[in-house]
Amino acid sequence: MTTSEKEVEAQCRQFREVFLALRGQVAKVIVGHEGVVDDVLIALFGGGHVLLEGVPGLGKTLLVRTLSQAFSLEFRRIQFTPDLMPADIVGTNIVMEDAASGRREFQFQKGPIFGQIILADEINRATPKTQSAMLEAMQEHSVTSGGQIRPLPSPFMVLATQNPIEQEGTYPLPEAQLDRFFFKLLVGYSDRRQLKTILDRTTTGHESQVESVADGEKILWAQKLVRRVVIADHVQDYAIRLVLATHPEGEFATEMVNRFVRFGSSPRGVQALVLAAKVRAMLNERYHVGFDDITQSVLPSLRHRLLLNFEGQAEGIRTDEVLGDIIKNTPTTTDLKV
């Protein structure tokens, strides 16, 4: 084994240790939802944002708060309501008076978006005008106020929640904003054993202490390392064909896509797919991406990037079903030359 190979192996081992340590700290508080926790961590190391969808009371907010404690990052919570204004998120200029000179001048007061882990709670309850204030922050990691571009702290991650069943008084997220999310994760109910553990922890005076196991510099190091993971051309082409298969009437579209899908995934979809697969590869102690790493990342990467047509909505089709059909009908290898 060469020196460079030993270095790569050591870096992969260090990354895996950090990931498992974070997972262990979260497990002290969050019962179950192992797949959701892993996917949130994958999105973090992929450098993206996460949309968590689930009914109230499933621990979405607690999950985000616990993650911030394990990362030792600055946590900010924004409760989205219909009367929330963009300035309430970004910040605003206010008049301040100097005590010594008595001069008055405008000073920028930062809003809650100037954090590192941002919980956008019930993001679909705010008006489109306020939701649009998140677009620049999520994409550019900066905000514009008073004609000035102000950078946000790094690392920066938005974890947004929304309730899928209570739609009165909500504003569906526009496609442009949904596309900014690296993953969309579905948070389900706990089972019988998990509910018993939850009761044992929350009704008996039990207190869980979450320790900080990674700081911002460690996360930035891991994000750079992820991008150095090797992906072969034929594996990358498989990811590309999966995304192209979401485009109706396209070369790789399946019959189900042509029938039920109005618009398919943007290029951000394949970027998220490949980055997530690179993280999974390192978790499996590999420094190269395999086909399984790609297929395991399809649903969270693409489910929010497909727009169903009227027939698909009328039939009650879910985008996960369409994506499952795409995985089933897209071969891992092809003779097509790019």
- Render pLDDT for 256-276 as a digit per residue (tens, 0 to 9): 999 998 988 889 999 999 999
| CATH at 288 | 1.10.8.80
Say whether both 71 and 9 belong to one domain: yes
- Supply the pLDDT for residue 323: 93
Say whether both 244 and 219 belong to one domain: no
Q: Partners of 53 in the beta sheet?
A: 162, 186
Q: How many domains does the chain have?
A: 2
Highest mean pLDDT among 33-37, 97-101, 202-206, 266-270: 266-270
Within 8 A by CB and 6+ apart from 26, the residues are: 37, 63, 66, 67, 70, 210
In one letter, which amino acid is 273? L
Q: Partners of 128 in the beta sheet?
A: none
Domain boundary among 174, 195, 224: 224
Say whether both 73 and 187 belong to one domain: yes
Distance between CA atoms of 114 and 263, rounded to whole angstroms?
Answer: 34
- Supply the pLDDT for residue 336: 54
Residue 243: pLDDT over 90: yes
Assigned token pair, 50: 């996460």
- Supply the pLDDT for residue 183: 92
Say whether both 265 and 139 belong to one domain: no
Q: For 70-116, how does the pLDDT look when each residue is reduced to its tens digit (9 = 90+)?
A: 887 888 888 888 888 888 888 877 777 766 766 777 777 888 888 88
- Supply the pLDDT for residue 1: 46
Q: Under DSSP, is residue 158 helix (H, G, I), strand (E, B) or coil?
A: strand
> Scanning the structure block, which residue is given the tokens 């497909």?
306
Mean pLDDT of 237-253: 90
DSSP classification of residue 230 = B
Say whether both 218 and 236 belong to one domain: no
Residue 166: pLDDT over 70: no
Q: Partners of 144 in the beta sheet?
A: 149
| CATH at 143 | 3.40.50.300
Domain boundary among 209, 224, 239: 224
Say whether both 65 and 188 belong to one domain: yes
CB environment 293-310: b (16+ within 10 A), e (fewer):
bbbbbbbbbbbbbbbbbe
Cα dist from 247 to 155, 240, 259, 322, whole Å: 33, 12, 11, 11
Lowest mean pLDDT among 59-73, 77-91, 277-291: 59-73
Band (169; pLDDT cuts 50, 70, 90): low
Domain boundary among 194, 224, 254: 224
Say whether both 288 and 317 belong to one domain: yes
In degrees, rounded to 5, the angle at the alpha carbon of residue 154 between the alpha carbons of residues 126 and 215 is: 115
- Supply the pLDDT for residue 99: 66
CB 158 within 8 A of CB 138: yes
146: containing domain: 1-224
Say whether both 126 and 176 belong to one domain: yes
Say whether both 180 and 242 belong to one domain: no
CB 243 within 8 A of CB 272: no
Say whether both 187 and 48 belong to one domain: yes
Distance between CA atoms of 276 and 34, rounded to whole angstroms?
Answer: 16
User: Residue 141, Cβ neighbours under 10 Å: how many?
Assistant: 15
Say whether both 13 and 121 belong to one domain: yes
Q: Could you give the percent of the chain with pLDDT greater than 70?
A: 93
Say whether both 191 and 78 belong to one domain: yes
